[in-house]
Amino acid sequence: MAAKLADRLGQIWFESAEPACRASRSLDLASYQKLARTMLVAVGDNMRQLAAGAQDGPKADAEFAAQAGKGAIAELRRLSTEPVVKEFLVRLRSRAAVEQMQTYLENIERALLLSRVEIKGRANPLASGDADLLQEIEKVTSAPSDYVDANKSKAMNRFLELLIVAERTAANTSNQEELLLWGPGKLMVVLEGPLKANCVMK
């Protein structure tokens, strides 16, 4: 799924690049698909660094222990090794990867829009309305809850309880002011050079 979204972005950049410039540099569709994958990784790194910088791990751990009880961190780790939970986590990570990819695409397209870069199309299926991709995304995003419904157990229920607390405490202890200072326009430091080198920007 992530590869399909990256290739779609590459296709759009290929179509948006100035034809004479593209030809003079012998840039084919594969070149733009490779560029898209590289840029998505770079944008992901940029956004993850921002999120990591806004998080306070020790404070979140302390708050988690206060809400979930002494030994909850060790219990969460132990439960994550249970076979039924491990299978759930595989699906959860797949969903997270697709959701992250959509976030990266949305912010790349917003950054280019803010910089008045003319792009012929939208890669984010939520914006383009690509029914086939949206159906695939729905299948991946619903997989964790579908798996839980089919595999109810004491271990799974307790893991989900602790996971909800962990996610809540991580959000509550992060530096929201720092996160609010960020905007998609700040991605141009990542995007501008490669897109100019590949004839998408002038």
Residues 6+ apart with CB under 8 A from 90: none
The number of distinct structural domains making up the chain is 1
Q: Tell me the pTM.
A: 0.83
182 pLDDT band (50/70/90 cuts)? Answer: confident
List the beta strands (DSSP E) in the chain.
Answer: none
Q: Which range of residues forms the domain containing residue 185?
A: 2-197
Q: Which residue has the tokens 């988690």?
A: 64
53-84 per-residue burial string, b: 16 or more CB within 10 A, e: under 16: ebeeeeebbebbbeebeeebeeebeebeebeb
**Backbone phi and psi for residue 179, each to the nearest 5 degrees, phi listed first:** -65, -35
Q: Judge whether 174 lies within some domain.
A: yes
Q: Judge whether 202 lies within some domain.
A: no
Q: Give the integer Cα–Cα distance in Å for 177 and 88.
A: 33
Which helix (DSSP H) or strand (DSSP E) does residue 202 occupy?
none
Residue 129's pLDDT is: 80
Q: What is the pLDDT of residues 5-27, one digit of tens each?
A: 899 999 999 999 999 999 999 99
What proportion of the chain, given as a percentage, has pLDDT over 70?
98
